[in-house]
Amino acid sequence: MLFKGRLNKSKNLIINLDELFKGTKVKYAFDVTYIVTRVLIDIKECTYMISTHIAEVGEKLREECKNIDFQYLQTVMKG
């Protein structure tokens, strides 16, 4: 992948990916979010923050990958 090669050459980047495939059919969004995340896991020179509303992606990655730290931001709705 072209972008993977460029990221490997870059050091100490913090990359924020928010809802990568929002608006895409859920099945496709799941598949592609999963694939992109799995590719990024191998690039250790950078730090990634990836948000998604597809909780199943996180569940699958939690089972397979031990180098991911899962966090969430609590939301309180008032009114």
pLDDT per residue as tens digits for the range 26-74: 899 899 989 988 888 888 778 888 888 888 998 999 898 888 888 877 8
Residue appearing with tokens 């969004």? 29
pTM: 0.72
Q: 6: pLDDT confidence band, cut at 50, 70 and 90? A: low
| pLDDT value, residue 60 | 93
Q: What phi and psi, each to the nearest 5 degrees, are found at residue 50?
A: -120, 125
Question: In whole angstroms, how far apart are CA 71 and each of 5, 7, 21, 39, 62?
Answer: 28, 24, 20, 20, 12
| pLDDT value, residue 4 | 58
